[in-house]
Amino acid sequence: MVTSQHEASHRIFQDRPELLTPVFRLLGVALPENPTVEVITPDVTETRPIERRVDTLLRVSAPNGRAFLLVVEAQRRQDREKAVSWGYYLTYLYSKYHIPALLLAVCQDKATSTWALGPFRIGVEGWTALSVHPLVLGPDNVPMIIDPEEAAQDLPFAALSAFTHAHGPEHMAILEALVTALGSTGDRKTFDHYWQLLDAGLGDTPARAAWKDLVKMAADIYFPGQGTLAEEKYLEGQTEAILRFLEARGVPLSHTARERIATCTDLRTVDRWLTLAATATDADDLFSDTEHPQEQGE
């Protein structure tokens, strides 16, 4: 089943093709200087009854005209059927485009990345008809980027580091470095882009919860009141929590009170209301606090 985590783990290569330069250097594979990277259709269906799609398919072209295809697959677990699928992808694409093809597997745990190295052989005992040798990125070979300055120099690679070490003990340090680097850019669009990418790509891991908390704090520090997507999502979740909490406790709320809570855009006010919601007996208990005059004037 295709999940948002699966999508984000390979789409980063579509969104940030410059990531290929440090990745190929890391893997020890030659990459042409100043290559042109083109995203092409991932459809490798040959006949209608059997539909096959790779995750991401890139065409990497050198200035001298030479080119190769790169299949990027997000691999979350071991799967013996991949020997067949990956072999099919590479041979079909070579047949269709008449240029060499490589396959890159992006993994989030050591067991899967070790397995993904293969080689995957197809044939009979004593004779291999086809052998597939994937390139693999995982916790074993992707560096842990824990320095904010280093992360700021290459945000896509820092994001890849966060993906591949999502299950590791250093995930918090990696995420802290990345969120600090993002905040220091002062670029709201970049901040929002990586907030969404990591939120999806970290999937059901401890790192995702940590990422949400870090992003909320960073949005408050670097973009207070500027309505970043991270800030909007956080505010939406907090105001919904306040309303649900009050409803569960049987606290009466007028339409005006509900609207005021739901539309508040001040982070400190919303956080304060969430705390007061635990003891409030009516809406006035939330709104009577004058600690933050800014909210009172809304």
Domain ranges in the chain are 4-137, 148-189+201-211, 231-296
Q: What percent of the chain has pLDDT over 70?
A: 85
The answer, yes or no, to whether residue 124 has pLDDT greater than 90, is no
pLDDT score for 120 = 92
| Residue 47 pLDDT class (50, 70, 90 cuts) | very low
Report, as an integer, the average pLDDT of 201-227: 76
Residue 86 or residue 40, greater confidence: 86
pLDDT score for 133 = 95
The answer, yes or no, to whether residue 49 has pLDDT greater than 50, is no
| Residue 143 pLDDT class (50, 70, 90 cuts) | very high
pTM of the model: 0.68
Computed over every residue of the chain, the mean pLDDT equals 83
Least confident of 170-174, 212-216, 257-261, 291-295: 291-295
pLDDT score for 157 = 95
pLDDT score for 148 = 93
pLDDT score for 220 = 66
Residue 8 or residue 190, greater confidence: 190
Q: What percent of the chain has pLDDT over 90?
A: 31
pLDDT tens readout for residues 6-31:
667 777 888 888 888 898 899 988 88
Least confident of 42-46, 59-63, 92-96, 250-254: 42-46
State which fold the 4-137 domain adopts. Trna Endonuclease; Chain: A, domain 1 (3.40.1350)
Residue 57 or residue 275, greater confidence: 57
Report, as an integer, the average pLDDT of 90-104: 94
Report, as an integer, the average pLDDT of 245-250: 86
254: left (phi over 0), alpha (psi -120 to 50) or beta: beta
Report, as an integer, the average pLDDT of 105-128: 91
Report, as an integer, the average pLDDT of 123-131: 88
pLDDT score for 50 = 47
